[in-house]
Amino acid sequence: MNCLAKLGLAGLFAFGLAQAKVNFPFPQMSDYGGNATLLSDKAKASEELKSQFAYWLKTMYNEEGDVAGVRSNPGSNEYFSEGVGYGMLLMVYFSDNTTSYQSQFDKIWNFYKKMMNENGLMVWKVGNLNQAYDKGAALDGDIDAAAALVMAYYQFGDEKYKEDAKKLIQSMKKFEFESNGLHLPGDKWGDAGYNRKNPGYFDPAYMPLFALVDTENADFWNKTAYDANMKLYEASSAEVTTGLIDDWTDKNGKSEDDQYSYDASRAPWRNAKAVCWHGDQRALALDKKMAEFVSTVSASRMSGSVNRSSGGLGSDHNSTFVTSLMTALISDAKYQSKLDEYWKEAVALGDENYFNQSLKLLNGLLVSGNMPNLAAATPAGPVSSSSVPASSSSVESSSSNGTIALPTAVTNAPKMTLSGRTLQLETDGKVHVDLISVTGSVLKSFDKDARGTVAISLNGVPSGLYVVRVKNANSAVLKKIKLD
């Protein structure tokens, strides 16, 4: 949907009385501007994700006073910096019109700050929320935490997150990146870090975000770091026909052990995110090659670790391997049914440990359209379920390019009312109805040919804010609705 269409919808949502708690309430169900193939039923997937998140929140999130961590496993009192990054991202993207997780976000961020070393980076492992096991940081946790802070600025609207993000990004640059742009696995690796790399720690989708916040180092993030680390990804992928990334490589991307395992399991998601957010063609090529291999393996069989050269599968059948490799399938529409198959298998796996469950949520958010780049999205703004006057809601829509223009009011426009989860239309012949997310994606469509009152059930659609567009031969009308 183009800029004019988004502005039209933004104006529509801005008309109302009740203020949303967050700017981008879950579920967003974006189409990422058509950059990727997503799940066929994003509404159902959103409900499944919400249920899985409730389990994660109950068993993994643990708070004491003003700090909180993500347990390494249910009941465990060990915490990792990577879990902090995952938790902060999840609190941003699962906040909705009913529940804002800003308080939980703040407590996890407080934990990060409490466990900062002298370099301004969180130590990688902690016990009992207060005992640091090591003095060194790990880039994978830091890079996700920094991105989550940027997204929190757009989601919750507080300038402090942007300021904190800039400090963290600059600390990462100083202590976790070489001057040539290559990443270091952490800040305490010494000389070993210059030749031992973990490609899955680097995220190309975040580079434009870091450049947006850390403006004095914008070229470093957009060009130097991006290019150097994408070359690592590309070199590792080029070694094998499966395209799978190795857990660890040398500084030139040469494989260390020929295994796609838990460290590398973040790589497909990170590259797929760059495709969805930025239309990144280098990231797309990497995911396309992986997808060719993934498409030959049934979701019920996918297990790790995976031997990169032979494609031989290990014995760990869990959401880490099912959903991480699932994200590569967003790269081509021909994998639509395979993508749906993989998500169905992930849901069937049910409740799992911390790492598997966290990756299921992050990967699921992406492929369901619920992890948009908030820095480039249009916020919902104040909302209500009241109708918009005909003079401002009557529209003309061009199906060829998605343009929505706001003309003068029209007559004979279909009348709409919402009763619970049933939309009632007063029609006089053929009408076409679209249910549209706040980011402009058409989620469901209905065609009716009747005279009088027509009822359309919206059962199964996740709670949230939507636009209903009804078109007949003479007019098109928008109405914003709120489903509880």
Is 384 part of any domain? no
Within this chain, do residues 429 and 288 fall inside the same structural domain, yes or no?
A: no
Within this chain, do residues 347 and 302 fall inside the same structural domain, yes or no?
A: yes
Q: Which amino acid is at 14?
A: A
Q: Is 45 in contact with 90 (CB distance < 8 Å)?
A: no
Within this chain, do residues 304 and 452 fall inside the same structural domain, yes or no?
A: no
Please enumerate in sequence order all residues whose Cβ is within 8 A of that of 136, keeping only pairs 6 or more positions apart, or say none.
117, 123, 124, 186, 187, 188, 189
More confident residue, 153 or 478: 153
Within this chain, do residues 305 and 232 fall inside the same structural domain, yes or no?
A: yes
pLDDT score recorded for residue 473: 64
Within this chain, do residues 253 and 276 fall inside the same structural domain, yes or no?
A: yes
Is 157 part of any domain? yes
pLDDT tens readout for residues 319-376: 999 999 999 999 999 999 999 999 999 999 988 999 999 999 999 999 999 999 999 9
Please enumerate in sequence order all residues whose Cβ is within 8 A of that of 465, keeping only pairs 6 or more positions apart, or say none.
13, 20, 25, 97, 380, 383, 438, 480, 481, 482
pTM, full prediction: 0.80
Q: Is 101 in contact with 25 (CB distance < 8 Å)?
A: no
Is 18 part of any domain? no
Within this chain, do residues 354 and 403 fall inside the same structural domain, yes or no?
A: no
Q: What average pLDDT does the segment 190-208 reach? A: 96
More confident residue, 364 or 479: 364
Q: What average pLDDT does the segment 291-307 reach? A: 98
pLDDT at 17 over 70: no
**Which CATH number covers residue 423?**
2.60.40.3080
Is 14 part of any domain? no
N-terminal to C-terminal alpha carbon distance within the chain: 26
**Which CATH number covers residue 369?**
1.50.10.10
> pLDDT category, 410, cuts 50, 70, 90?
very low
Q: Which amino acid is at 335?
A: Y
Highest mean pLDDT among 237-251, 416-430, 443-457: 237-251
SS3 of 368-385:
CCCCCCHHHCCCCCCECC
pLDDT tens readout for residues 51-86: 999 999 999 999 999 999 999 999 999 999 999 999
> pLDDT category, 474, cuts 50, 70, 90?
low
Q: What average pLDDT does the segment 452-466 reach? A: 79
pLDDT tens readout for residues 160-185: 999 999 999 999 999 999 999 999 99
Query: Into how many domains does the chain fold?
Result: 2
pLDDT score recorded for residue 440: 63
Is 279 part of any domain? yes
Single residue among 323, 351, 376 that ends a domain in this structure: 376
Within this chain, do residues 103 and 156 fall inside the same structural domain, yes or no?
A: yes
Is 26 part of any domain? no
Q: Is 449 in contact with 430 (CB distance < 8 Å)?
A: yes
Is 235 part of any domain? yes
pLDDT at 253 over 50: yes
Query: How far is Cα 288 from Cα 296, in angstroms, rounded to an integer?
Result: 13
pLDDT score recorded for residue 15: 39
Domain that holds residue 405: 390-483
Q: Is 357 in contact with 350 (CB distance < 8 Å)?
A: no
Is 4 part of any domain? no
Query: How far is Cα 131 from Cα 291, in angstroms, rounded to an integer?
Result: 42
More confident residue, 439 or 152: 152
Single residue among 376, 403, 418 that ends a domain in this structure: 376
pLDDT tens readout for residues 186-195: 999 999 999 9
Within this chain, do residues 362 and 397 fall inside the same structural domain, yes or no?
A: no
Query: How far is Cα 68 from Cα 467, in angstroms, rounded to an integer?
Result: 37
More confident residue, 422 or 316: 316
pLDDT at 20 over 90: no
More confident residue, 376 or 414: 376
Within this chain, do residues 444 and 372 fall inside the same structural domain, yes or no?
A: no
Q: What average pLDDT does the segment 460-465 reach? A: 76
Query: How far is Cα 160 from Cα 143, in angstroms, rounded to an integer?
Result: 18
Within this chain, do residues 352 and 394 fall inside the same structural domain, yes or no?
A: no
Within this chain, do residues 161 and 109 fall inside the same structural domain, yes or no?
A: yes
Query: How far is Cα 181 from Cα 184, in angstroms, rounded to an integer?
Result: 9
In a 13 Å sphere around the CA of 436, the CA atoms on its Cβ side amount to: 26
> pLDDT category, 94, cuts 50, 70, 90?
very high
Q: What average pLDDT does the segment 17-41 reach? A: 86
Single residue among 329, 352, 376 that ends a domain in this structure: 376
Within this chain, do residues 272 and 411 fall inside the same structural domain, yes or no?
A: no
Helical (H) or strand (E) element with 418: strand 415-419
pLDDT at 235 over 80: yes
pLDDT score recorded for residue 438: 63
Q: Poorest-confidence range of 130-144, 240-254, 358-372, 427-441?
A: 427-441
